[in-house]
Amino acid sequence: MPEIDLDPRREIFDQLDQQKLGPLWLIPIRKAAVARFADAGFPTRRDEDWRFTDVSPIRDLTFKPVYEASGRELSGSIRERSLLGGVRTHRMVFVDGIYASELSDAPLIEDGVTVIDLKTGFESDALHLQEHMTRYSQSDQNAFTALNTAYFADGAVVKVERGVSCRTVLHLVFVTSGGENGVTVHPRNLVTVGDGASVTLVEEYIDAGGKAPCFTNSVIEFVVEEGAAVEHIKVQDESTRDFHVSGLYAQLKRSSRFRSHSLALGAKLSRHNIRTRLDGEGSQCVLNGLYLTRGEQLADHHMVVDHAKPHCESHEYFNGILDDQSRGIFHGRILVRQEAQKTDAKQTNKNLLLSDEATVNTKPQLEIYADDVKCTHGATIGQMDEEAIFYLRARGVPQGVARRMLMHAFAGEIIDRIECDPVREQLDRVVWDRLEDEGV
Amino acid sequence: MFKIENLHAGVEGREILKGVNLEINAGEVHAIMGPNGSGKSTLGHIIAGREGYDVSQGAMEFKGKDLLDLGPEERAHLGIFLAFQYPVEIPGVNTTYFLKSAVNEVRKARGLPELDAVEFLKYIKEKAALLQLPGDFLKRALNVGFSGGEKKRNEIFQMAVLEPCFAVLDETDSGLDIDALKVVSNGVNQVKSPDRAQLVITHYQRLLDYIVPDFVHVLYDGRIIRSGGKELALELEERGYDWVIESASVEA
Ligand SMILES: Nc1ncnc2c1ncn2[C@@H]1O[C@H](COP(=O)(O)OP(=O)(O)OP(=O)(O)O)[C@@H](O)[C@H]1O
Ligand SMILES: [Mg+2]
């Protein structure tokens, strides 16, 4: 039988030279990943996990993985473009997925905190990377994660040693240049936080105002050791021409605390896959997200919270405000394994529709194999509360401001859960400004 | 100052107000009483500009301006205020923040400079003391988790802050304990002045001991079927509505 329709992505892979494949230990992992991708292909809507999100526009893009800095000048400074420009952070900037040292703060290797780019990490911390990289994402059948594993070229390595509280807000900024069609960016990040250590990390995705659509397909892996605490804030505000798929894998050890916030503002299509495993007794996980969509945008959050050990807590809170013909998707799967007694798992998804044409698909999925657990979930889809708007207007607040106050309050339920004060305050302003543009 | 002529209004083909006439002059206090469902709150809502009612006939003007074409906020800017029978809970909207926006919008519309944060806080703290509001009141989300009485008190507090020319109080007394009734009435009376007017909707004569009306009207089935002085309220308290309704139907 003749070989038909060989995937061009595989073809590209087979031609990669040793240098692009990275260290030796990584090669078989990459090969397996590309084979897995070739096997599965892009998901279709027949696939239960992708029922509401059609990724064919991504499949149809030309596929150009980036391995080197293009040298293209970005218009405007990162500080201006970043939504957190005014916040004091330790910034590490990547342009089209490649580390841009000239735009970044100096690498950190001090006081038990390491923040370096992946290529440096392969040299200076090879064993650490070999131990952790790809380990937590490997069992996931997700084709996009496989694609990332096969093609990633750069990313950040963040390491906080045991007992260290990192006081600086670490900030990864991924900028797409939009200078060339089909640029495909595969950031790959690894964050390890030692026993009793703590850190706040912002992962931001923005564009530099270019015209060509770009596809970002990122993966971040977290290892949260015993008693460690992580606050992670992902902010995605790419251009509405761009496509964005991301995978977050978190491994939570005993008594650790993991909070991950997702703010999805941009991209034509975005999909955030969150996989957290509560793998030690007494660990806590909060997944907290807000999506604001308009026009033709689609924002999809898909999570699997895996309760593997007893006495763990997980909460998911996701709110969406949707205008025009935009779409929001929430899929929350909670898996409580037999051993995971006394699990406390809660999930809510609330949506505010500003237009008759906006749609939401929300799907809770509880799979419980332990008998002594507390699991609740709830979802709402509603419109603006006209009673409330009348009340505010009757006191002199103009209609536009009244609507904005209510939307802001709804968004605030999510934003207020960000514990890091400067980041929360700044993102609150960002959201307020976005709501201002909202058609009234 | 405020005048309604032959107002007919309803929802979805059902007429609720069936020809209301009412004239209120500056400095006057009017009371409206009437059985449940007679249209009192509807009248209050229409004065405040609530959307969703079809006004099929009639006119409503305030200080010579036609009100019917104005949105609720524009009426508020002119100095109209409605204390709601059922104040709305608005989660996530902080009371102080909301009030600052309301006050400054009203000031803007009247050509006054906006108050800055410090001036505003000083101003509302004085008003809050007047109504003996609990300390955390201003920090909480608007009406959320407030008791029935607290909500009513909050309405009058907002009135005191906004200093309207014409206030409609819809059953502000219901749900208040005796002490709160005095405090609230006191708040209402403080707002009183020769260039302001009030329309008090109530079921109980008791409130009218504190807020003394110049005129009392009975609204029944969408019409004002009797008007009188403050003694009418005492008579209603004693004899109920039947005799008024009967004599009205004889006249008709
Ligand atoms: N939006 C609406 N849709 C349908 N019916 C309505 C609406 N608003 C008011 N009504 C009806 O109009 C009538 C008058 O209601 P309204 O609330 O004005 O009465 P009220 O005099 O204030 O009564 P109460 O003393 O119980 O407060 C009632 O029969 C009520 O059910
Ligand atoms: Mg009423």
> Could you write out the three-class secondary structure of A247-272?
EEEEEECCCCEEEEEEEECCCCEEEE
Query: What is the tens place of the pLDDT at every residue in A245-292?
Result: 999 999 999 999 999 999 999 999 999 999 999 999 999 999 999 999
* Residue pair B101/A405 in contact by the 8 Å Cβ criterion: yes
In B113-236, the DSSP E strands lie at 141-142, 166-170, 197-201, 215-220, 223-228
Partner residues linked to A117 by β-bridges = A156
**A352 contact partners, CB below 8 Å, separation of at least 6:** A319, A320, A321, A322, A382, A383, A384, A407, A410
Domain hosting B66: range is 2-251
Q: What is the reported pLDDT for A438?
A: 52
CA distance A168 to chain B (A): 30
* Residue pair A211/A181 in contact by the 8 Å Cβ criterion: no
Question: Could you say which of A385, A390, A410 has the minimum Cβ distance to residue B50?
Answer: A390
DSSP codes of every residue in B19-85: EEEEEE-TT-EEEEE--TTSSHHHHHHHHHT-TT-EEEEEEEEETTEE-TTS-HHHHHHHTEEEE-S
Q: Is B189 helix (H, G, I), strand (E, B) or coil?
A: helix
* Residue pair A12/A30 in contact by the 8 Å Cβ criterion: no
User: Which residue in the block uniquely carries the two structure tokens 């007494």?
Assistant: A282
Provide the CB-side half-sphere exposure for B170 (13 A, CA). Answer: 19
Predicted confidence pLDDT, tens digits, chain A (440 residues): 444 556 778 888 888 888 888 999 999 999 999 999 998 899 999 999 999 999 999 998 888 888 888 777 777 788 889 999 899 999 999 999 999 999 999 998 889 999 999 999 999 999 999 999 999 998 888 999 999 999 999 999 999 999 999 999 999 999 998 888 888 999 999 999 999 999 999 999 999 988 889 999 999 999 999 999 999 999 999 999 999 999 999 999 999 999 999 999 999 999 999 999 999 999 999 999 999 999 999 999 999 999 999 999 999 999 999 999 999 999 999 999 999 999 999 999 999 999 999 999 999 999 999 999 999 999 999 999 999 999 999 999 999 999 999 999 999 999 999 999 999 999 999 999 998 755 43
* Residue pair B216/B234 in contact by the 8 Å Cβ criterion: no
Question: Could you say which of A394, A405, A412 has the minimum Cβ distance to residue B76?
Answer: A394
Partner residues linked to B4 by β-bridges = B22, B60
Ligand 1 centroid – CA B37 distance (Å) = 5
Ligand 2 centroid – CA A79 distance (Å) = 56
The separation between CA B232 and the C-alpha centre of its own chain, rounded to angstroms, equals: 20
Tokens of B234: 């005492």
Cβ contact, residue pair A398, B98, below 8 Å: no
Question: What span, in angstroms and rounded, lies between the C-alpha atoms of A237 and A85?
Answer: 14
Query: What is the tens place of the pLDDT at every residue in A292-332?
Result: 999 999 999 999 999 999 999 999 999 999 999 999 999 99
Question: What span, in angstroms and rounded, lies between the C-alpha atoms of B235 and A295?
Answer: 63
Question: What span, in angstroms and rounded, lies between the C-alpha atoms of B167 and B150?
Answer: 19
Tokens of A304: 């699997």
Question: What span, in angstroms and rounded, lies between the C-alpha atoms of A177 and A116?
Answer: 22
Q: What is the reported pLDDT for A74?
A: 75
Q: Calculate the alpha carbon distances from A109 to A92, A121, A125, A208 in Å.
A: 13, 11, 12, 29
Q: What is the reported pLDDT for A250?
A: 98
Question: What span, in angstroms and rounded, lies between the C-alpha atoms of B12 and B65?
Answer: 27
Tokens of A25: 């230990």
CATH number at residue B174: 3.40.50.300
Ligand 2 centroid – CA B134 distance (Å) = 27
Q: Which ligand is nearest to the CA of B204?
A: 1
Instruction: Kindly state the average pLDDT of the residues B160-165.
Output: 94
Q: Which helix (H) or strand (E) holds B205?
A: helix B205-210
Q: What is the reported pLDDT for A437?
A: 59
CA distance A395 to chain B (A): 6
Question: What span, in angstroms and rounded, lies between the C-alpha atoms of A77 and A82?
Answer: 9
How many structural domains compose chain B? 1
Tokens of A150: 């096969």
- The residue type found at B184 is V
Report residues whose beta carbon is within 6 angstroms of any ligand 1 atom.
Answer: B 11, 16, 34, 36-42, 85
Instruction: Kindly state the average pLDDT of the residues B36-65.
Output: 96
